[in-house]
C-alpha cells in the first residue's frame, strides 16, 4: 500500500533535510540509501547524495573501520551539496553511531537499532557503556527501536534462517524513514521483487519488513517519531531521472562518439578505486558499439586505447591518480603522434595508495604539467554528476577535432554521488563528424589543417596512405624522423600552438553567480561547485559583494579568464588539495589569488567556504 | 608529393620496402630479417593497406620504418598493447609485432605474456641477440651468465630466460625459431606464422655485429651447424647431422630426450621421436635443448590453434553494433524517470 498517513495534516514541514544511513558494510546501507534516493526523486525533491564506503571489502563485522554510510540531502529548494550537517542519523549498530555522531547537528535525530547494541558490538565500537542509556546522547533526539526484533517478527511467516531474516533490517529501517518523510514505497517494492526474482520468499520477506517499518511509523505512539513533509522542488519542465557521475560519463562518452560519427568506442582500463565502475558501466553497452578491455595493467590500458585510436576507433582509458602516473609515458606518445584519446581520472586522496575511497582533487598539476618534456594536452573538469555528460561529449569533440589526448578530471565523490538530472534532448546534442583522410594527393602523416593545426587522421586499411608514425621527433613538412635542431623547436611550438588555439573554440568563461566585476571572486573547479555556489548565494543574500566563477576548461584556459579575474579585487580559490589551481592562475595571470585548502578526503562544507569569504572580505577593512 | 599508383602486376619484395635509408650497422643481422620479411610479404602478396607493423624500442624496433605498409613505432616494451588495441578496433588488420630480447622480455615481459595468453591474432617476431644494442651493449634477460658488458664489467650474474619456454608457459599456441641468416628456413617459418590463426611467436637468433658478435656461433658457425641444428618438421623424425644419422630418442626412465646415432647400439629410425607440433610436452622439451650437448631446435616447434581473442570478444558483441548509431535516447530513458510538467 502506498497511501500516506491519514494524519498527514499533522506533519511538520521542512525545507530540506540531511539523512545519513550508517551501518556495517554487510548491512546494505548503500542499497538502503539508493532506494531512499529513488523514492525521494520520485517525490519531486531536489537532492544530492554522498556514499561513504570503507576501503576494505568486508571488514570484521561491528568494527569502526567496517562502517559504511550513505548520506542524502534533499529538499524543496535548490540542493547543490550533500549537506554540511546531518539532521537524522540512522545507526544500525554501535560502530555506526560512534563513527558518525560527530557529524550530527545538535538537536538532530538518532534512529538506533537497540537490538544490535549488544555488549560485544559495543566493545568492538570502543564503548565501555551503552551510549543509548548512559545519558551521553541528551543533546540529540534519540529514537530507540529494537529494529532487529521488529524485523524478525515481520519476516517470521516466511521461514528464513536467523541470519537472512536479520539482513532485512535495513528494509525495515527504510520503511520507517519513508513514512517519516512521506515518501511512496511502490518503486522499492518493485525493485525488491525484481532483485529477488529467483528467491521469491526473500523478496516477500524484505517487502514485509519494508511495510512493517512503514506501518510502525504510522501507528506507533512515540513522541520522538514525527512525520515530516518536504515539498517538491521547483524544477524546469522536462523529463528527469537520477544519475551518478559514472553513468553520466559512460553515456556522455558514447554520445560523443556518436556525434563524431565513429563506429566504435574502445574502452580499456584496469580496475582501480573509484574508477572501476566506469569499466563496469561501459561493459554493459556492447550492443551500442562499445568494446571494453580489462587490460593487464594501467599501461596496457592506455596502450590499447592508443592502438584503437590509431586504427580509427575512439580509444578511451580511465583510472585514478596512481594509474594516471603509470600512463604518463604513453600520454607522451599520444601527444607526439597526435592521436585522439580520452583519459578519465577519478581523483582520490593521495599520494601513492593514499585513501582510495576518499575524494580529493589533487591531480590537477599532474594533468596539466605531469609529463617529461614540453607536452601540452587538453584538460577538462566536470562539476557535478550530471555535468559529466556534456563534459564527456566535449572531451570527445576536442580529442577528435584536434588530434590530441584530453584528460577529463572527476573525483570519487562525483563518480558515486547521484542527483536528479533533466534528460537532455538527444536531437539537440551537437554533431562534430570526423572526416578520415582518404586522398593520397599531397598526403604525409603530419600534414596539418591550417586552422586547427591538427594533422590528418589516416586510418590503416585506407589504400594509398600507407605511412609510419612513432615517438621520435618528425619533420614538420614530411613526417619523416628528424633530429634537425630548428625542426624540433618548430614542432614543439606547433604542438603548443595547437593546444593554445583551442581557446578560440571553447566558450568564454561565464560567472556562475554574481556580477562579473567586484570585490571578490571565488574561483573553483570540479566538485567544489555545489558548496561554493551555496556559500556565494548565502553571502549575496546578506548583501556581500562576491561572485562565483567555476572552471570547466583547465587547459587551455578560456581566452577571457585573465580579464575576468582582473575585474575582481580579490580572488579566492577553494580546492581539495594543497594549492594547485591557485598557483596556475597566479602564474598565468599574475594575480595574487589566495587558496582555501581542505585536504581531508571529504567535500567542503558550505559554512567553511562562507567563513573564508567573510574573512577575505574583512581583510580589506 | 608523388601520386601513388596502384600496381597492376604482383608486388615484388622491393615494393614492400619503404623509401627510407636503412640505418642498422653494416653486417647487422637485422638486414637479413628485413629481407626475409619482405620476401614473405611478397610471396603472400599481402595487401599493404591492411598490414601494420608495430614495434617498441630497440634496434629491432626501427623495423616498421623500412616497410611500406602502415607502421607504428611505439614505446619500450608496450607494442603488444597497442597491437591489441588495433586488433580490437579493426580485427581485419594484419598485425606484426616487432620486438627484441630487451623490449620483449625485460620491460615488455608482462605485455608479451598477456598478448600470448589471450591469443590475439597477430605475428610476433622477437629478434634475440642476447644484448641491448641501441643503448650500447648492456646485457639482457637472455644473455648467458658471465656476459661482460658496460653495466656488468665483471660478468652478468643473472640466469637468463628462454623466450620459447616463456612463450609456452604464457600459453602461446604457435612457437617457432629460426636464424637471421638461415634465409629460406626463416621465410618458411614466417609464412607458417602468418597462416596460423592466433598469436604466432617467432624467435629469431639475430647477430649483433657490434656488441655481441658471434654469440650463437656454437650452433650457427658453418663448421658446426649441421650437427648443432635440428630443423623440426611436423610428421618427420627428429633427425639432424650432415649425414642425417643423429636423432632424438625419449629415454623412458628419465623422461628426457637423448641424442642417439643411427646404426650404433642397434638404434634405428624407429627409435627416433617423430615431431608432433601439437604436442605441448614435446615442445617444452625441444625448446629446452641447448648446445653443445644437444642441437638447437629450429622451425615450427609448437602449433596447436585455438579460438582467437578477437573472435571471442566479438562473439559477445551483437552483429551490426555501431556507436555512430547508438540509441542514446533509449539509454538515457532507461530505468526510473519522472516528468515535471510545464
Q: Is the pLDDT of residue A7 over 60?
A: no
Tell which of A303, A313, A469 to mutate to test the B interface (max B CBs under 10 Å): A303
How would you class B241 by CB atoms within 10 Å of its CB: exposed for 0-12, middle for 13-18, buried for 19 or more? middle
A205 versus A7: which is more confidently predicted?
A205
The whole-number pLDDT of residue B229 equals 98
The average pLDDT across B84-112 equals 98
| Contact status of A365 with chain B (Cβ, < 8 Å) | no
Strands B200-205 and B229-231: unpaired
Q: Do B340 and A238 touch (CB under 8 A)?
A: yes
Chain B hits for A303, Cβ within 8 Å: 74, 78, 80-82, 84-85, 111
How would you class A592 by CB atoms within 10 Å of its CB: exposed for 0-12, middle for 13-18, buried for 19 or more? exposed
Alpha helices in B45-131 (DSSP H): 79-89, 101-105, 109-118
Q: Do A285 and B331 touch (CB under 8 A)?
A: yes
Touching A: B residues 27-66, CB under 8 Å:
48-50, 52-54, 64-65
Which residues, listed in sequence order, are joined to residue A546 by a DSSP beta bridge? Answer: A520
The average pLDDT across A295-303 equals 98
The beta-carbon neighbor of B89 closest among A264, A296, A472 is: A264
Report the run of H or E that residue A73 belongs to, with start and end: strand A67-75
Q: Do A41 and B90 touch (CB under 8 A)?
A: no
pLDDT in tens, A88-123: 999 999 999 999 999 999 999 999 999 999 999 999
**What number of C-beta contacts closer than 8 Å exist between A and B?**
235
The answer to whether residues A350 and A361 touch, using CB atoms and an 8 Å cutoff, is no
pLDDT range class, residue B5, cuts 50, 70, 90 = low
| Contact status of A443 with chain B (Cβ, < 8 Å) | yes
How would you class A621 by CB atoms within 10 Å of its CB: exposed for 0-12, middle for 13-18, buried for 19 or more? exposed
CA A384-A385-A386 angle, to 5 degrees, is: 90
% helix, strand, coil for chain B, step of 5:
35, 20, 45
Using alpha carbons, select from A160, A182, A208, A173 the residue that is nearest to residue A96.
Answer: A173
The whole-number pLDDT of residue A225 equals 83
Name the one residue in this structure whose C-alpha cell is 600520454.
A331
Using alpha carbons, select from A100, A111, A96 the residue that is nearest to residue A62.
Answer: A96
Q: Measured between CA atoms, how close is A13 to chain B, in angstroms?
A: 22
Touching B: A residues 520-579, CB under 8 Å:
none
- Percent pLDDT > 90 in chain A is 92
Touching A: B residues 319-338, CB under 8 Å:
321-329, 331-333, 335-338
pLDDT in tens, A556-576: 999 999 999 999 999 999 999
pLDDT in tens, B292-342: 999 999 999 999 999 999 999 999 999 999 999 999 999 999 988 888 887
pLDDT range class, residue B4, cuts 50, 70, 90 = low
CB atoms within 10 A of CB B58: 26
All cell numbers assigned to B106: 625485460
Which chain B residue shows the shortest CA-CA distance from A477? B1
Q: Measured between CA atoms, how close is B135 to chain A, in angstroms?
A: 15
pLDDT range class, residue A3, cuts 50, 70, 90 = very low
CA A264/CA A312 separation, integer angstroms: 8
CB atoms within 10 A of CB A529: 23
N-to-C CA span, chain B: 61
Which residues, listed in sequence order, are joined to residue B128 by a DSSP beta bridge? Answer: B205
Q: Do A423 and B337 touch (CB under 8 A)?
A: yes
Region of residue B130 (left: phi > 0; alpha: psi -120 to 50; beta: else): left
Q: What is the DSSP letter of B95?
A: E
pLDDT range class, residue A59, cuts 50, 70, 90 = confident
Q: Measured between CA atoms, how close is A557 to chain B, in angstroms?
A: 30
Q: Is the pLDDT of residue A176 over 70?
A: yes
| Contact status of B9 with chain A (Cβ, < 8 Å) | no
- Percent pLDDT > 90 in chain B is 95
Q: Measured between CA atoms, how close is A615 to chain B, in angstroms?
A: 41
Touching B: A residues 122-181, CB under 8 Å:
none
| Contact status of A311 with chain B (Cβ, < 8 Å) | yes
Weakest-pLDDT range from A456-465, A611-620, B190-199: A611-620
The whole-number pLDDT of residue A620 equals 64
Q: How many CA atoms lie within 13 A of A589 on its CB side?
A: 21
Q: Measured between CA atoms, how close is B33 to chain A, in angstroms?
A: 19
Q: Do B86 and A460 touch (CB under 8 A)?
A: yes
pLDDT in tens, B175-185: 999 999 999 99
CA A99/CA B70 separation, integer angstroms: 59
Tell which of A195, A288, A336 to mutate to test the B interface (max B CBs under 10 Å): A288
The whole-number pLDDT of residue A224 equals 77
Q: For all residues of chain A together, what is the average pLDDT?
A: 95
The average pLDDT across A384-391 equals 98
The beta-carbon neighbor of B110 closest among A296, A330, A441 is: A296
The whole-number pLDDT of residue A53 equals 78
Q: Is the pLDDT of residue B271 over 70?
A: yes
CA A399/CA A450 separation, integer angstroms: 17
| Contact status of B25 with chain A (Cβ, < 8 Å) | no
Torsion sign (Cα): A514, A520, A523, A528: negative
The beta-carbon neighbor of A333 closest among B74, B114, B332 is: B74
The answer to whether residues A257 and B324 touch, using CB atoms and an 8 Å cutoff, is yes
Q: Is the pLDDT of residue B7 over 80?
A: no
The beta-carbon neighbor of B323 closest among A257, A310, A480 is: A257
Q: Measured between CA atoms, how close is B30 to chain A, in angstroms?
A: 19
Touching A: B residues 107-146, CB under 8 Å:
110-111, 113-114
Integer Rg of chain A from CA? 27
B7 versus B84: which is more confidently predicted?
B84
Which chain A residue shows the shortest CA-CA distance from B64? A468
| Contact status of A327 with chain B (Cβ, < 8 Å) | no
> Which ipTM did the prediction report?
0.97
Q: Do B65 and A300 touch (CB under 8 A)?
A: no
Which chain B residue shows the shortest CA-CA distance from A254? B323
Instruction: Return the SS3 of B269.
Output: helix
pTM (two decimals): 0.94
The whole-number pLDDT of residue A235 equals 87
The whole-number pLDDT of residue A2 equals 42
Q: Measured between CA atoms, how close is A174 to chain B, in angstroms?
A: 19
Q: What is the DSSP letter of A454?
A: P
CA A9/CA A246 separation, integer angstroms: 40
pLDDT range class, residue A505, cuts 50, 70, 90 = very high
CA B61-B67-B69 angle, to 5 degrees, is: 110
| Contact status of A282 with chain B (Cβ, < 8 Å) | no
The average pLDDT across A503-515 equals 98
Using alpha carbons, select from B113, B209, B232 the residue that is nearest to residue B163.
Answer: B113
Q: Measured between CA atoms, how close is B205 to chain A, in angstroms?
A: 26
| Contact status of A446 with chain B (Cβ, < 8 Å) | no
The average pLDDT across A377-397 equals 98
The whole-number pLDDT of residue B1 equals 40
Q: Is the pLDDT of residue B40 over 50?
A: yes
Touching B: A residues 185-204, CB under 8 Å:
187
Chain A hits for B96, Cβ within 8 Å: none
Name the one residue in this structure whose C-alpha cell is 594575480.
A591
Q: What is the DSSP letter of B17?
A: B
pLDDT range class, residue A1, cuts 50, 70, 90 = very low
Touching A: B residues 73-102, CB under 8 Å:
73-75, 78, 80-90, 92-93
Question: DSSP secondary structure string, A77-129?
Answer: S---SS-SSEEEEEESSHHHHHHHGGGEEEEEEEEEEGGG--HHHHHHTT-SS
Q: Do A261 and B89 touch (CB under 8 A)?
A: no
| Contact status of A310 with chain B (Cβ, < 8 Å) | yes
The beta-carbon neighbor of A460 closest among B70, B332, B335 is: B70
Using alpha carbons, select from A392, A589, A341, A378 the residue that is nearest to residue A503.
Answer: A378
The average pLDDT across B9-30 equals 95
Q: For all residues of chain B together, what is the average pLDDT?
A: 96
Q: Do B332 and A295 touch (CB under 8 A)?
A: no
All cell numbers assigned to B164: 620459447
Amino acid at each position: 500500500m502506498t497511501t500516506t498517513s491519514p494524519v498527514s495534516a499533522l506533519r511538520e514541514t521542512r525545507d530540506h533535510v540531511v539523512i545519513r544511513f550508517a551501518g556495517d558494510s554487510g548491512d546494505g546501507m548503500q542499497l538502503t540509501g539508493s532506494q531512499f534516493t529513488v523514492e525521494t526523486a520520485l517525490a519531486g525533491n531536489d537532492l544530492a547524495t554522498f556514499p561513504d564506503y570503507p576501503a576494505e571489502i568486508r571488514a570484521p563485522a561491528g568494527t569502526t573501520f567496517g562502517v559504511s554510510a550513505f548520506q542524502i540531502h534533499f529538499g524543496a529548494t535548490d540542493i547543490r551539496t550533500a549537506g554540511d550537517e546531518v539532521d537524522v542519523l540512522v545507526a544500525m549498530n554501535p560502530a555506526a553511531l560512534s563513527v558518525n555522531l560527530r557529524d550530527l547537528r545538535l538537536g538532530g535525530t538518532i534512529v538506533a537499532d537497540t537490538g544490535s547494541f549488544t555488549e560485544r558490538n559495543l566493545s568492538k565500537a570502543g564503548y565501555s557503556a551503552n551510549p543509548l542509556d548512559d545519558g551521553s546522547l541528551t543533546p540529540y533526539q534519540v529514537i530507540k527501536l529494537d529494529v532487529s526484533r521488529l524485523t524478525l517478527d515481520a519476516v517470521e511467516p516466511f521461514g528464513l534462517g536467523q541470519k537472512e531474516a536479520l539482513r532485512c533490517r535495513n528494509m525495515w529501517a527504510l520503511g520507517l524513514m519513508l513514512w517519516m518523510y512521506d515518501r511512496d514505497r511502490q518503486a522499492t517494492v518493485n525493485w525488491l521483487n525484481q532483485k529477488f526474482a529467483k528467491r521469491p520468499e526473500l523478496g516477500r520477506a524484505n517487502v514485509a519488513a519494508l511495510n512493517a517499518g512503514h506501518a510502525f511509523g504510522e501507528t506507533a505512539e512515540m513522541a520522538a517519531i514525527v512525520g515530516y513533509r518536504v515539498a517538491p522542488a521547483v524544477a524546469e519542465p522536462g523529463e528527469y531521472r537520477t544519475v551518478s557521475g559514472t553513468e553520466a560519463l559512460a553515456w556522455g562518452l558514447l554520445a560523443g562518439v556518436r556525434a563524431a560519427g565513429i563506429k566504435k568506442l574502445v574502452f580499456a582500463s584496469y580496475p582501480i578505486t573509484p574508477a572501476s565502475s566506469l569499466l563496469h558501466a561501459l561493459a554493459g553497452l556492447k550492443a551500442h558499439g562499445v568494446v571494453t578491455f580489462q587490460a593487464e595493467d594501467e599501461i596496457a590500458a592506455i596502450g590499447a586505447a592508443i592502438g584503437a585510436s590509431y586504427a580509427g576507433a575512439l580509444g578511451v582509458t580511465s583510472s585514478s591518480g596512481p594509474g594516471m602516473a603509470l600512463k604518463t609515458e604513453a600520454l607522451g606518445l599520444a601527444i607526439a603522434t597526435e592521436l585522439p584519446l580520452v583519459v578519465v581520472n577519478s581523483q582520490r586522496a593521495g599520494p601513492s595508495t593514499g585513501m582510495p575511497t576518499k575524494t580529493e582533487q589533487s591531480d590537477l598539476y599532474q594533468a596539466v604539467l605531469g609529463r617529461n618534456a614540453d607536452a601540452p594536452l587538453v584538460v577538462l573538469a566536470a562539476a557535478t554528476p550530471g555535468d559529466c555528460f556534456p563534459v564527456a561529449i566535449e572531451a570527445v569533440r576536442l580529442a577528435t577535432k584536434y588530434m590530441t589526448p584530453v584528460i577529463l578530471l572527476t573525483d570519487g565523490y562525483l563518480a558515486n554521488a547521484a542527483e536528479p538530472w533533466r534528460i537532455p534532448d538527444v536531437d539537440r546534442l551537437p554533431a562534430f563528424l570526423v572526416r578520415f583522410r582518404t586522398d593520397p594527393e599531397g598526403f604525409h602523416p603530419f600534414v596539418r589543417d591550417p586552422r586547427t593545426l591538427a594533422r590528418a587522421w589516416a586510418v590503416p586499411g585506407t589504400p594509398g596512405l600507407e605511412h609510419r608514425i612513432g615517438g621520435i621527433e618528425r619533420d614538420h613538412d614530411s613526417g619523416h624522423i628528424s633530429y634537425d635542431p630548428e625542426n624540433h623547436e618548430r614542432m614543439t611550438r606547433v604542438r603548443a600552438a595547437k593546444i593554445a588555439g583551442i581557446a578560440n573554440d571553447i566558450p568564454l568563461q561565464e560567472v556562475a553567480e554574481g556580477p562579473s566585476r567586484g570585490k571578490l571572486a571565488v574561483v573553483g573547479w570540479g566538485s567544489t561547485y555545489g558548496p561554493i555556489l551555496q556559500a556565494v548565494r548565502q553571502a549575496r543574500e546578506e548583501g556581500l559583494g562576491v561572485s562565483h566563477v567555476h572552471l570547466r576548461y583547465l587547459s587551455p584556459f578560456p581566452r577571457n579568464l585573465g580579464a575576468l579575474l582582473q575585474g575582481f579585487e580579490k580572488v579566492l580559490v577553494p580546492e581539495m588539495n594543497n594549492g594547485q589551481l591557485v598557483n596556475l592562475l597566479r602564474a598565468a595571470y599574475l594575480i595574487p589569488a589566495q587558496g582555501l585548502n581542505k585536504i581531508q578526503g571529504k567535500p567542503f562544507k558550505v559554512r567553511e567556504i562562507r567563513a573564508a569569504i567573510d574573512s577575505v572580505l574583512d581583510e580589506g577593512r | 608529393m608523388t601520386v601513388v599508383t596502384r600496381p597492376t602486376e604482383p608486388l615484388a619484395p622491393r615494393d614492400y620496402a619503404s623509401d627510407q635509408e636503412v640505418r642498422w650497422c653494416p653486417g647487422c643481422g637485422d638486414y637479413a630479417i628485413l629481407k626475409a620479411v619482405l620476401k614473405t610479404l611478397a610471396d603472400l602478396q599481402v595487401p599493404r593497406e591492411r598490414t601494420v607493423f608495430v614495434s617498441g624500442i630497440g634496434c629491432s624496433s626501427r623495423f616498421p620504418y623500412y616497410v611500406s605498409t602502415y607502421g607504428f613505432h611505439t614505446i619500450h616494451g608496450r607494442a603488444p598493447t597497442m597491437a591489441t588495441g588495433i586488433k580490437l578496433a579493426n580485427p581485419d588488420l594484419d598485425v606484426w609485432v616487432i620486438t627484441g630480447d630487451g623490449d620483449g622480455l625485460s620491460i615488455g615481459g608482462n605485455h608479451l605474456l598477456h598478448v600470448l595468453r589471450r591469443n590475439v591474432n597477430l605475428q610476433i617476431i622477437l629478434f634475440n641477440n642476447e644484448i641491448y644494442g641501441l643503448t650500447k651493449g648492456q646485457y639482457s634477460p637472455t644473455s648467458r651468465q658471465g656476459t661482460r658488458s658496460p653495466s656488468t664489467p665483471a660478468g652478468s650474474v643473472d640466469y637468463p630466460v628462454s623466450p620459447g619456454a616463456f612463450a609456452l608457459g604464457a600459453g602461446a599456441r604457435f612457437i617457432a625459431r629460426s636464424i637471421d641468416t638461415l634465409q629460406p628456413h626463416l621465410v618458411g617459418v614466417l609464412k607458417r606464422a602468418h597462416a596460423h590463426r592466433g598469436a604466432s611467436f617467432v624467435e629469431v637468433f639475430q647477430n649483433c655485429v657490434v656488441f655481441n658478435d658471434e654469440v650463437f656461433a656454437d650452433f650457427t658457425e658453418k663448421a658446426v651447424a649441421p650437427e648443432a641444428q635440428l630443423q623440426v618438421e611436423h610428421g618427420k623424425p627428429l633427425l639432424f647431422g650432415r649425414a642425417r644419422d643423429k636423432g632424438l630418442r625419449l629415454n623412458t626412465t628419465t623422461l628426457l630426450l637423448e641424442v642417439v646415432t643411427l646404426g650404433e647400439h642397434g638404434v634405428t629410425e624407429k627409435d627416433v621421436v617423430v615431431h608432433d607440433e601439437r604436442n605441448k610436452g614435446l615442445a617444452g622439451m625441444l625448446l629446452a635443448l641447448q648446445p653443445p650437448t644437444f642441437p638447437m631446435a629450429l622451425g615450427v616447434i609448437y602449433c596447436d590453434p585455438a579460438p582467437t581473442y578477437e573472435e571471442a570478444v566479438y562473439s559477445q558483441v551483437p552483429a551490426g553494433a555501431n556507436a555512430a548509431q547508438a540509441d542514446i535516447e533509449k539509454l538515457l530513458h532507461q530505468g526510473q524517470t519522472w516528468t515535471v510538467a510545464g
